[in-house]
Structure 1
């Protein structure tokens, strides 16, 4: 993570995990299937780094955040948010 020059924003460096498998056969070094962390702009990997055999990228599941419970008014207040309740059209009051 680093800050952009002359900016309030933080640039996150994202390096995803990719899963690969051998196109044919198996290997004692890689086990026939392996996972690597590779930059988004890296060229496509076509051979296993260990055994040099041809490989293909495997489509796998991905991680998504899960919400365990609905956000309540008290949770929002604890997090420092101002909670407003609609009174009339265009009118709100603090809770």
Structure 2
């Protein structure tokens, strides 16, 4: 495979071992700075009646109800909160 690529590049070593350009751009993340801020504000608010604290699954259900925030699964919500050192208490 390397020898084929070396032949295709005309013997250019750096073109052979260098990184290839992506054929298409990566998919943009649905989590922007504004979405992240709204999510953290929701996690810091008081939990709904009947719940002692927020859980990731409960946040996932409430995010689905809010129109300004795109639907996010609980693992994405957990990554956002972990990135900002937010602890659900």
Pairwise same-fold verdict (TM > 0.5): no
Using the size of structure 1 for normalisation, the TM-score is 0.19
TM-score, normalised via structure 2 length: 0.20
Give the number of the structure whose residues are more often helix, by fraction: 2
Query: Highest CA radius of gyration, 1 or 2?
Result: 1
Larger RCO (CA under 8 A, 6+ residues apart): 2
Structure richer in strand, relative to its length = 1
